[in-house]
């Protein structure tokens, strides 16, 4: 596997940090989760529903293909183990509050004497600098702060969050990309670095072109009816005779194909609809015509027609329908692991693809399941030292 020679110490919990590292684990990296024994380990173990003891399907989703070591790195004995792990690892990855890496001494300057090439990734709510660095940050909070909720939902409705924790997941992927870039440089130059990644930065960066329009002109981003694109028409959801479909015309050729397929070949020559700018100015008229057409037949009729015409389109699926889509199966996007309590666990795969080899998938670890491997095989501790560690409650 591409990352089979990479070892990551993950001081991580919940969603964002583990989401970043699970993709690296799927690509072959050895990810060793450090779980605090005083708190029962990763809080994701206790998320309901589908939770039993120290296991949950939430935890399974973010922690497959990883190892677990129960270790209190704030205790002297636990710190010694942690430092030994730093000596034989490539990355220390954490998702803690922005001021905590300094307190735990897990930044590059704190660890470079142990391993000059160590990469230290911190994914926090607001970063390790700035006036909010000591504040906790969660996806929902960040969606509000970064303007996402103001843009989401129907005009005149309440601010609305995404149905998924997209700030968390995007932040995890940004952290993974930062880790890979820093690791590349460390192996080239022999010098590691800090990766100071924040959910706030991630959320602000994803404002992309609406931010550029606002920063450089008088454009005011607003919510749009039926989730319409802010400038391209038509590019939105439409109600049909029995459901909803999404139709997208981001190129002039697609609008010409749409008009022809719907029996209105005159539309592209109509001065009101002849180009992007005209259609935006006259959106109300065009969308009213389109909605009247789409309401006359069921979704499948229109999807078959538009796909045949080469118009970008798709159904508005439920989650269950999306998971049953034949293309989901064809792309291998549902994988299985075996779990001692839950049995066969089906979950979605990582979208990262490198070469032809597909990853193996193993269940998430039980807390401290890999202590013998990490302490004995990897670090070479004898049985007496392991027993002393457990007696000191540094690892249990």
Please write the tens of the pLDDT for every residue from 250-306.
999 999 999 999 999 999 999 999 999 999 999 999 999 999 999 999 999 999 999
Average pLDDT in the chain: 96
Percent of the chain with pLDDT over 90: 95
pLDDT at 219: 86
Same domain, 185 and 240: no
pLDDT at 394: 61
Is residue 348 assigned to a domain?
A: no
Same domain, 187 and 69: yes
Is residue 266 assigned to a domain?
A: yes
Same domain, 128 and 267: no
What's the number of domains the chain is made of? Answer: 2
Q: Is there a cis peptide before residue 234, judged by omega within 30 degrees of 0?
A: yes
Q: 137 vs 16, 126, 151, CA distance in Å?
A: 11, 7, 20
Same domain, 125 and 43: yes
**What is the span of the domain harbouring residue 179?**
7-205+357-391
Which CATH number is 253's domain given?
Answer: 3.30.1540.10
**pLDDT tens-digit readout, 190-236:** 999 999 999 999 999 999 999 999 999 988 889 999 999 999 999 99
Instruction: Estimate the crossing angle of helix 76-87 against helix 383-391, to 10 degrees.
Output: 140
Q: Which residue has the higher pLDDT, 356 or 235?
A: 235
Both tokens assigned to 240: 């049909």
Same domain, 254 and 308: yes
Same domain, 235 and 99: no
Same domain, 52 and 180: yes
In this prediction, residue 395 has a pLDDT band, given cuts at 50, 70 and 90, of low
Is residue 258 assigned to a domain?
A: yes
C-alpha span between 241 and 299 (Å, rounded): 7
C-alpha span between 9 and 17 (Å, rounded): 12
pLDDT at 69: 97
Long-range contacts of 148-151 (CB under 8 A, 24+ apart): 148/203, 148/206, 150/221, 150/223, 151/210, 151/221, 151/222, 151/223
Is residue 111 assigned to a domain?
A: yes
pLDDT at 391: 74
Is residue 53 assigned to a domain?
A: yes
Which CATH number is 44's domain given?
Answer: 3.40.50.10540
Specify the pTM.
0.93
Is residue 369 assigned to a domain?
A: yes
Half-sphere exposure at residue 115, Cβ-oriented, CA atoms within 13 angstroms:
22
**pLDDT tens-digit readout, 53-96:** 999 999 999 999 999 999 999 999 999 999 999 999 999 999 99
Same domain, 28 and 91: yes
In this prediction, residue 389 has a pLDDT band, given cuts at 50, 70 and 90, of confident
Contact 199, 140 (CB under 8 A): no
Which of 262, 287, 316 represents a domain boundary (last residue)? 316
Same domain, 149 and 180: yes
Active site residues: 229
Both tokens assigned to 316: 């508005």
The region, left, alpha or beta by phi > 0 then psi within -120 to 50, assigned to residue 69 is: beta
Locus of tokens 């970043």: 20
In this prediction, residue 396 has a pLDDT band, given cuts at 50, 70 and 90, of low
Same domain, 11 and 142: yes
């Amino acid at each position: 596997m591409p990352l089979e020679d990479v070892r990551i110490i993950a001081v991580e919990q919940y969603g964002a940090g583990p989401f970043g590292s699970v993709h690296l684990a799927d690509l072959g990296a050895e990810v060793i989760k450090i779980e605090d024994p005083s708190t029962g380990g990763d809080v994701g173990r206790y998320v309901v529903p589908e939770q039993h003891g120290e296991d949950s399907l939430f935890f399974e989703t973010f922690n497959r293909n990883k190892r677990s070591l129960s270790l209190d790195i704030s205790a002297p004995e636990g710190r010694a183990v942690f430092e030994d792990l730093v000596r034989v690892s490539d990355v220390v990855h954490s998702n803690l509050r922005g001021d905590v890496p300094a307190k735990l001494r897990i930044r590059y300057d704190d660890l470079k004497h142990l391993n000059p090439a160590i990469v230290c990734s911190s994914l926090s709510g607001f970063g390790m600098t700035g006036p909010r660095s000591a504040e906790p940050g969660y996806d929902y909070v960040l969606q509000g702060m970064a303007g996402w909720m103001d843009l989401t939902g129907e005009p005149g409705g309440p601010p609305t969050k995404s149905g998924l924790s997209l700030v968390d997941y995007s932040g995890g992927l940004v952290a993974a990309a930062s880790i890979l870039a820093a690791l590349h440089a460390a192996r080239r130059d022999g010098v590691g670095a800090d990766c100071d990644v924040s959910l706030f930065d991630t959320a602000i960066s994803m404002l992309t072109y609406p931010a550029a329009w606002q920063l450089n002109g008088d454009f005011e981003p607003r919510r749009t009816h039926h989730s319409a694109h802010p400038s391209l028409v038509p590019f939105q959801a439409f109600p049909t005779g029995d459901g909803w479909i999404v139709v997208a015309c981001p190129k002039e050729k697609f609008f010409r194909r749409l008009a022809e397929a719907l029996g209105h070949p005159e539309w592209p020559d109509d001065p009101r609809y002849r180009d992007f700018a005209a259609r935006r100015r006259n959106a109300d008229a065009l969308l009213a015509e389109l909605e009247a057409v789409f309401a006359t037949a069921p979704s499948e009729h229109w999807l078959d027609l538009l796909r045949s015409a080469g118009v970008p389109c798709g159904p508005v699926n439920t989650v269950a329908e999306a998971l049953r889509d034949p293309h989901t199966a064809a792309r291998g996007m549902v994988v299985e692991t075996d779990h001692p309590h839950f049995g066969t666990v089906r979950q979605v795969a990582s979208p990262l693809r490198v070469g032809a080899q597909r990853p193996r998938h193993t269940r998430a670890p039980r807390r401290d399941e890999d202590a013998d491997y990490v302490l004995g095989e990897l670090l070479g501790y004898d049985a007496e030292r392991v027993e002393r560690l457990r007696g000191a409650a540094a690892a249990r």
